[in-house]
Structure 1
Amino acid sequence: MQQRYTVEDLLHLMAQLRNPDGGCPWDLKQSFATIVPSTIEEAYEVAEAIEAEDFEHLHEELGDLLFQVIFYAQLGDEVGHFDFHRIVDTLVRKLVRRHPHVFPSGDLYGNRRTDAIDEAEVKTNWEAIKAAERGAKGEAGALDGVALGLPALTRAAKLQKRAARVGFDWPNIDGVLAKIEEEIAELREAIAAGNREHAREELGDLLFSCVNAARHLKVDPETALRHCNRKFERRFNAVESELKSQGRQPADASLEELDQLWDKAKNTEG
């Protein structure tokens, strides 16, 4: 059986790709900024494989995501900022620090806690530790540290969650749903007034309120929308396939016929 490669082999491979003497021209041109889009894309491909339960290919997608970390580590090492081993060391120390209920001595290999652990207490302690870490970084505000680069839906949910921790939240989802209805009415008014800029603002308020509803339902808004996207894609493909079997295209059908075919595709799914 062929010997399996290790993380050390992967680090060696990355160093060779970035070696000015015989390395890969494309890899040599890259920088921290240029590979960010690839990192985001790889993360979404991991999420897509998990949601599709495509476990046969998940390990490959995880490898692609790991390669992004290896790439950043190589770039960091080249300019003297950090290397892969420092990334791992920082991560392990942080996780040990955030899990005092598992590592009470603060040492990865120290005495382990053996009594029962309350999940609610764990969550409270976790958030307190993270808040202390943010404070040490000078992030004193409740909303500080929520990354600007996050997808808008995810960032909205994180902002709302942070605000909720200090008591700024609807007591239940009824208030959220009422707010959604209020935002829809305001959006209608802006559209009727022909004010595109105001309509855009009201649409943003509506989306923000929908994220709030997702949070109260304990649903990840990005996951919910991705699921909806796949459902739309699947049903529209069925409509298109039905028309193509008749030698036609969607543009050849009336809206009424498209709606009928859509309902048929929807009912077929059960």
Structure 2
Amino acid sequence: MLTLRTGKYTRQLAELDPAENYHEMVRIMAEHEFPLDTLIAGELAQLKTFGIPGIARLLHQTGRYEKESTKRLDDTKAILREIMQPGPDSPAGREMVGHLNQIHGFYKIPNHEFLYTLSLFIFETVRWNAVFGWRAMTVNEKEALYREFRDLGEAMNIQDIPPSYEAFEQWKTAYEQAHQTYTPEAEKVTVGILGGLAALLPVWIRPLTQTLVATLINDEQLLKVLGLKAPPLWQQRSILGLMKTRAWLGRHFNLWEKRSFADSRIINHYIHYPNGYQRMRLGPKVLVGRIYARKPLEQTD
């Protein structure tokens, strides 16, 4: 049900200090101020990692986006929620970070790839709101987002996290310029995630998934890197027109003005887990089985 936007959450965010209250600020943004935008940005952040050859190669080798894309998307959403909702420094958050670190420990992933992936969950959210959201994020909101994900990175033992929002943004830009390139693996994994994303959309819009995603990526170079073609201009203009209408509506109405997005059917809907999930069993089945059996890895799924 549409409710008039009162601006109370915007005012709360403006009154909070990102140096002290960044977790509360991120919670307000994710549950009331920019909830759906944050969710969509997180999905696109995953897709953008494929532009790095090492990441695309590993993801192709595991086959998780190509063989069980909806499970991979569900696992990522659930794991991040289990960490970020209570906070990376909370007991529940630390427990889930430990679980995530154990899963990652089965692979030889260089620190710079962890760092780049971490950066995307910050800067894709900022980009999305600036281009498609009902308003752009403020300096303090960006700082809060940076600090929250910095905490996550530190909990994951990621090294050399840049010391400020601005420094991290510069690092991300330079990293993309140095490493982002097309590979066949990137194209294959992209096709896989598009299938998973289609399953999240209403049936009537699923045939347009690639057109929709390519338009929302809004980056011609990245489309080439991922092996995607830019849609015809008339399709792009139609989608962008709908997004402008959505932004206008968002300035005046808020679906989560009186309720939390954390309780909504959207965030709680998991295709692979229709009856709910066991939080410490999230992740690739074989790897989770190895964790619990305390056996060395013999194969990946």
**TM surpasses 0.5:** no
Taking structure 1 as the reference length, what is the TM-score of the superposition?
Answer: 0.20
Kindly indicate whether structure 1 or structure 2 has the higher relative contact order, using CA contacts under 8 Å at least 6 residues apart: 2
Give the TM-score normalised by structure 2: 0.19
